[in-house]
Amino acid sequence: MKEINLKIKGMHCEGCENRIKNSLITIDGIDEVVANHIDGTVLIKTTKEVNLENIKEKIEDLGFENEE
Ligand SMILES: [Cu+2]
């Protein structure tokens, strides 16, 4: 199990958290997603190698911004 931590701009409520969770959980290899709109973090637990660019793209497709 590997963990990826992302800083995401633009989450304002639980609804935003859920949109990110529901989108990322569909990616093969992602086991769990914990999004927190208060501190703007997304924690992703993976069971195998995942494509980080693919994850970031999905987040941006939803209208959120990745903070580098
Ligand atoms: Cu929201």
CA distance 9 to 50: 22
Cβ neighbour number for residue 20 with a 10 Å cutoff: 24
Q: How far is the CA of 10 from the centre of ligand 1 (A)?
A: 8
Total count of domains within the chain:
1
CA separation, residue 49 to residues 5, 55, 56, 62 (Å): 15, 12, 15, 23
User: pLDDT at position 26, please?
Assistant: 97
- Print the domain residue range for 16: 2-67
Q: Encode pLDDT of 4-51 as tens digits.
A: 999 999 999 999 999 999 999 999 999 999 999 999 999 999 999 999
The enclosing domain of 33 has a CATH number of 3.30.70.100
Q: pLDDT at residue 68 above 80?
A: no
Give the per-residue pLDDT at 35. 98
Ion ligand 1: residues, Cβ under 5 Å: 12-13, 15-16
What pTM did the predictor assign? Answer: 0.94
Owner of token pair 């935003």: 16
Q: Distance from the CA of 43 to the center of ligand 1, in angstroms?
A: 17
Model confidence at 1, pLDDT cuts 50, 70, 90, reads confident
**Measured in angstroms, how far is the CA atom of residue 25 from the centroid of ligand 1?**
18
Please tell me the distance between residue 2's alpha carbon and the centre of ligand 1 in angstroms. 27
Report the pLDDT value the prediction gives residue 61, as an integer from 0 to 100.
97
